[in-house]
Chains A and B, each alone.
Chain A
Amino acid sequence: MAGPEGPAAVAEELALIRAIATGDKAAFGSLYDRYAGTVMALCLRVLGDRAEAEEAVTDVFWQVWQQAGRFDLDRGQPIAWLTTLARTRAIDRRRALARRRSVVLPEDEGDGSRTERLPSSSDPHAEAVGAEQGERVRRALGTLVPDQRRAVELNFFGGLSHQDIAEELGEPLGTIKTRIRSGLARLKESLAASFLGEVAP
């Protein structure tokens, strides 16, 4: 199964993971250079704090180094594994922080639109590398109706649970669940379509 990155990119990443599993430090550096920006962006979304996000990025890649041998090469894309690790580590860290102090949610931008706008990149090189793949996914997100998109982004970027989102938006839990589920189904179709080139750029 190929994602929007294309099968060649996935094959390269699988080779990197396999090399890391044998203790190849240069391969580890390459994987870091390829995805640290995306992992950082995600951790920053969940944690809302640069220093905390950098700690989470460190945890994620350290885990990659230790567990690359356990990555099931047949299972799927390394990017999916990396972002799953990133979400898990960042959410764990946020929970631990919440126990110590009361910062839980990423910073609100005042008008309640904190997930509607995507932050601009501070790294032109990384931006160029990921631009094409990113554009495909952004187009897919653009096919969601605003309520759907908001809930999906709070769940997958903000790391808020369905329950948290329901409370945050003041809507019934069932409504939120339905919205995210249907949003995800729609994204799946859009991403598959854009990969097959059926959607005009």
Chain B
Amino acid sequence: MTCERLHDVIVEVAAGTATADDARALRTHLTAGCPTCASRLAEAEAVVGQLALALPPVSPSPAVRDRLMKRVGGDDRVVVPFPDRPSPRPARSPWLPAAVAAGIAAGLAGVAVYVPLARDRDALRSDLARLDGELRAAADTLHVLRSPSVQVVSLGGGEPQPGARGRIFWDRARGEWRFYAAELRPPAAGRTYELWLIDDQNRKIPAGTFDVDARGEGELRVSLPAGIGTIVAAAVTDEPAGGVPQPTGSIHLVGKIEPVPSGG
């Protein structure tokens, strides 16, 4: 498709109404490297993004916020810190407390509305939110397993446990790892297993600790920040309970990660 024909596609992609075929054609074209179309798309998205501000806001019911905060509260993902930033939490900016206060006020308004409701209805809603969360987690896992952008990495056992195995499903589009370990012995008392990302500078980035169950299986879900660099390997070591910022223990699982062509 020519850039001229793609101009209309760009408008529809920005509007979210492009057909799958058109969107794919544009993606292919952009991946091949076309600065004209790339800047047209950025411009269209910027304008279209602001257009929604013309719509007078309509507040969703407080239950929507409630449900989301509950779901977020139960989300036990491990977030990998940015490699160039040792502290995982950036300093709070001065405006944030006010915004948080506004959030609390909105939450209180929700409470006021729901106080008259029967207790069992709250319990039901909480059950529903939990089930909803579990269902979404299962759907998420399925999505990752099906996604064409997923790379599968195998990890083999290290010296202490040659029979141990591990597998990582790396969803490059979503920047997410699903890590599963099998046939690992439970760690010694006061110790835990810790997963590491190793980049091409041989830096070891902590990606969370995990336990294994009676069958020797463990799992971890890891969100990777954008711009984390090129990850070339993954490893599991045993470490003091709670984990450590840099590996100290012996390697129980290790695997090399093949690079994929850029654009994936």
Contacts and interface: CB of A to CB of B under 8 A. Distances in A.
Nearest to B18: A161
Contacts of A133: 50, 53
Interface residues of A, number: 90
Interface string A179-201: 01100100110010000000000
B116 interface: no
B89 to A, nearest CB: 6
B51 A187 contact: yes
B44 interface: yes
A33 B102 contact: yes
A156 B48 contact: yes
A83 B49 contact: yes
Chain B CB within 10 Å — which of A66, A72, A118 has the most?
A66
A173 B48 CA distance: 21
B18 to A, nearest CB: 8
Nearest to A9: B95
Interface string A65-84: 11101111101110111111
A181 B61 contact: no
B103 A33 contact: yes
Contacts of B7: 181
B89 A24 contact: yes
B154 interface: no
Chain A CB within 10 Å — which of B16, B44, B106 has the most?
B16
B182 interface: no
A7 interface: no
> Interface size bucket, B side?
35 or more
B59 A184 contact: no
Interface of A is mostly: helix
Contact of B49 (A23, A79, A155): A79
Contacts of A118: 54-56
Interface string B156-178: 00000000000000000011100
Nearest to A189: B47
Contacts of B71: 62
Given A40-B58, A62-B71, A72 B226 contact: yes
A63 B95 CA distance: 25
Interface in B70-127: 71-73, 75, 77, 79, 81, 88-90, 93, 95-96, 99-100, 102-103, 106-107
Interface string B33-65: 000000000111111111111111111110111
Chain B CB within 10 Å — which of A29, A44, A188 has the most?
A29
Interface of A: 1, 3-5, 12, 15-16, 18-19, 21-30, 32-34, 36-42, 44-45, 53-54, 57-58, 61-62, 65-67, 69-73, 75-77, 79-84, 86-88, 91, 118-123, 126-127, 129-130, 133-134, 136-138, 140-141, 155-157, 159-162, 164, 177, 180-181, 184, 187-188, 191
11 contacts: A33-B103, A38-B57, A40-B60, A53-B60, A76-B42, A86-B52, A118-B54, A123-B57, A134-B53, A155-B11, A184-B48
